[in-house]
Amino acid sequence: MADQVLDAKGLNCPLPILKTKKAIKGMSAGQILKVMATDPGSIADMAAFCNQTGNELVSQSNEGDVYTFEIKVA
């Protein structure tokens, strides 16, 4: 389903966002980036990042300590 997967587990603010941006840069519009993170702050931050940059936060879920985000590249 995802076109690319980014493992940002174990990284703290602002690294998940910086790595997400870097991954998105290399992708095309419409593609899905799946990001996995353990930083609880990334729940709010990933939404804010998507709001600001126009990329769409398609889904967000968590399993235990791992938060998974699916972002559709604008």
Catalytic residues, by residue number, are 13
Cβ–Cβ under 8 Å, residues 24 and 45: no
Q: Shortest gap between Cβ of 66 and another protein (angstroms)?
A: 14
Cβ–Cβ under 8 Å, residues 8 and 37: yes
Q: Shortest gap between Cβ of 46 and another protein (angstroms)?
A: 11
Q: Does 11 bind another protein (CB under 8 A)?
A: yes
Q: Shortest gap between Cβ of 5 and another protein (angstroms)?
A: 18
Structure tokens at 15: 């690294």
- Region binding another protein by CB under 8 A among candidate stretches 18-26, 28-36, 57-65: 18-26
Q: What are phi and psi of 43, to 5 degrees?
A: -60, -55
Element (H, E) at 16: helix 15-25
| Residue ranges that bind another protein, judged by CB under 8 A | 10-15, 17-18, 20-21, 39, 48-49, 52-53
